[in-house]
Structure 1
Amino acid sequence: MTDIKDNSENSSPFHKGEQALQSRMGVREQVERFGRRVIRDYMPDQHRHFYQQLPYLFVGHGDEDGWPWASMLFNRPGFITCPDDKTLNINTRPVKGDPLLKALNTGARLGLLGIELNTRRRNRLAAHIIQTDEQGLTLAVDQAFGNCPKYIRPRELDTCIADDMLPATVHGFTGLDDEARALIEKSDTFFVASFIENRRGEASEGADVSHRGGEPGFVRIDNHQSLTIPDYAGNFHFNTLGNFVNNPKAGLLFIDFENGHMLTLTGPVELLFDSPEIDTFTGAERLWTFNLHRGYWLKNALDLRWQLL
């Protein structure tokens, strides 16, 4: 593990890949000024309170081969505690078959997304593991910042889940089957993880996980391994795409909100800035393609259900 450098006035909150895209889009200086104001190395009190009331949390990490994966941790509200503004205790473990299970090592860099789908509120964290055991893990905060609610489709958490859930199953694959394609085609939401090695010891390096949303079908299925994904206007931080510049790989997580299944994928990506196909995706400013390397169906993994508002 590379030690994390202390934030200083001379240290940018963005790494070289993020800076390169900000420069390409002509927003480098203003985003740097804004980032230095809103990206902190601690959690403000309102963020601490927010995480402690959540029943679920999204996590991004990179495996030992550098492949990113997006995961979901969940438990009863209160499973996350923040004893101080630099520390999170998470009292749960990943579900069976989740690649995150193999990555819970001291020093591992994680990206976290706290999100309330019903209120459309979300906050982001970059952190690293300082302790782990059979009950959960403890994280130290590297970066913390808020996100706007753009593109989040409101969903209400259903508190009435049947006790007679089917057994959880895990199925690995290297091609998208009909069921996976059907889930992707109807999805208005997915989560994307990206990852770069923490070589320079900067807080901006490591893992990230982010929400992506649009109208159902906004992710185009090109064949049994390839997807094309629009990138809409955002905060110009380019946390995800900036990681792609340094490590062109992504982890995607699609959730079957009605049945409790999770579809998690990882594979190489390509950024498309000047493709004529951009005009075929309404509102897109650029595109990126995803090619499946490996995926897992985690069936009946969630004891949570959501209803679309």
Structure 2
Amino acid sequence: MEPYHHGELAVQKRAGVSERAAVVSAVVRTEMPDAAAVFLAEQPVLFIGAADARGNVWSSLLTGHPGFITVTGPSSVRVAATLSAGDPLYRTLAGPARLGMIAMDPGTRRRMRMNGTARPTPGGLEIELEQIYANCPKYIQQRVPTWQPATPGDPREGTALTGADLALVAATDTFFVATADPDGNADTSHRGGNPGFLQALGPTRLRWPDYAGNSMFNTLGNLEVNPRAGLLIPDWTTGTLLHLTGTAAVDWDPDHAAALPGAQRVVDFTVERLVRVDHASPLRWSAPRFSRFNPPASTP
């Protein structure tokens, strides 16, 4: 795969960062560096995203004790974990799937992105990687995990956010957004900020500021060519996961961005379907130490 597709290139040009993005593209690898293999072996969670059979994009996570992610070759990893039956990506990962992934360590504010094709194996996945690269630590809140085994609750499905969902949105300082290009090549990105940076404008409408990043515009580039997107909003204290799928659009109006501190653009998200699973994750995380890069959050 080339580092960028035409949607990413178009967004880079519009944002005026084409030259910088071309330089940054040198970090994209097809083979796993030794340091990255060590990093993966230390992680208890892998954030993922993919498009389902209908083209709806979802984001989720896989968990395991450190060592559950193993590098098996120059461009391959094994993940010894599966999703629960109530997870919106459960059926998708039952067959080959184009998967976007982030391995992120909130304790050290390190993260690594990987994109490739996953195939199911007994008890997990084998993934052939096409893109491997590190990301900067900006906007990651520092947290330390503990393991607390729990039984996932029954999934609650809907088409609009409830009061409990809206409370989780208002309190969140971190979420993950999955997108895909028209061929289904998926990407998963991290978004962080002070509580309130993700705003609910109604039971089916969310928005967030697009802060300065690495100039690659993987998420916005995918949205340029495919508006489908999936959000994962974790409750770090209970293990509850809120999965949303719908469409996203980038608002380039500078006046709208100026209303949100630190925003260079604004992203509007329309919820079409949601799945909430209480206690879905066995990880419980300490109270956050907020990133010094977080701009102040505004109120809707």
Moved more, 271-280 or 208-217: 271-280
Alignment partner, residue 143 of structure 2: 155
Moved more, 269-278 or 243-252: 269-278
Alignment partner, residue 274 of structure 1: 253
Alignment partner, residue 136 of structure 1: 124
Instruction: Give the distance between the partners of 2:152 and 2:178, measured in 1 at CA.
Output: 27
Kept in 2, the 8 Å contact 1:67–1:195? The answer is no
Three-state SS of the structure 2 residue aligned to 1:151 is: coil
Matches within 5 A, 1:159-238: 159=147, 161=148, 165=150, 168-198=153-183, 206-238=185-217
* Residue 158 of structure 1, CA deviation: 2.3
* Residue 275 of structure 1, CA deviation: 5.1
Is 1:40 the counterpart of 2:26? The answer is no
Instruction: Give the distance between the partners of 2:92 and 2:4, measured in 1 at CA.
Output: 24
The residue type equivalent to 1:143 in the other structure is: Q
Where does structure 1 differ by over 3 angstroms across 4 or more consecutive aligned residues? Answer: none
The residue type equivalent to 2:104 in the other structure is: I
* Residue 75 of structure 1, CA deviation: 1.0
Change (3 A) 1:167 1:83: closer
Kept in 1, the 8 Å contact 2:88–2:275? The answer is no
Structure 2 unaligned spans of 5+: 290-300
The residue type equivalent to 1:174 in the other structure is: T
Instruction: Give the distance between the partners of 1:63 and 1:30, measured in 2 at CA.
Output: 33
Three-state SS of the structure 2 residue aligned to 1:125 is: strand
Kept in 1, the 8 Å contact 2:254–2:264? The answer is no
Kept in 1, the 8 Å contact 2:146–2:284? The answer is yes
1:241 alignment partner, one of 220, 241, 251: 220
Alignment partner, residue 53 of structure 2: 64
Alignment partner, residue 294 of structure 1: 273
Instruction: Give the distance between the partners of 2:154 and 2:279, measured in 1 at CA.
Output: 7
* Residue 106 of structure 1, CA deviation: 4.8
* Residue 166 of structure 1, CA deviation: 5.6
TM-score, normalising length: structure 1: 0.90
Kept in 1, the 8 Å contact 2:20–2:215? The answer is no
The residue type equivalent to 1:140 in the other structure is: E
Three-state SS of the structure 1 residue aligned to 2:202 is: coil
Instruction: Give the distance between the partners of 1:239 and 1:66, measured in 2 at CA.
Output: 18
Root-mean-square deviation over aligned CA pairs: 1.5
Instruction: Give the distance between the partners of 1:47 and 1:223, measured in 2 at CA.
Output: 41
Instruction: Give the distance between the partners of 1:276 and 1:30, measured in 2 at CA.
Output: 25
Q: Deviations over 1:101-156 (max 9, x none)?
A: 11125542100100001110000001102x31331110001000100000001111
The residue type equivalent to 2:131 in the other structure is: Q
Alignment partner, residue 10 of structure 2: 20
The residue type equivalent to 1:56 in the other structure is: V
1:74 alignment partner, one of 63, 83, 91: 63
TM-score, normalising length: structure 2: 0.92
Q: Deviations over 1:205-237 (max 9, x none)?
A: 700001100110111110111011110000010
Instruction: Give the distance between the partners of 1:105 and 1:263, measured in 2 at CA.
Output: 21
Three-state SS of the structure 1 residue aligned to 2:12 is: helix
Percent identity (aligned): 38
Instruction: Give the distance between the partners of 1:26 and 1:275, measured in 2 at CA.
Output: 14
Instruction: Give the distance between the partners of 1:31 and 1:54, measured in 2 at CA.
Output: 29
Kept in 2, the 8 Å contact 1:66–1:196? The answer is no
Is 1:90 the counterpart of 2:79? The answer is yes
Q: Deviations over 1:53-109 (max 9, x none)?
A: 111100010111211111100011111111222110011101231121111255421
Alignment partner, residue 4 of structure 1: none
Q: Deviations over 1:215-267 (max 9, x none)?
A: 10111110111011110000010000100011112100111111110000001
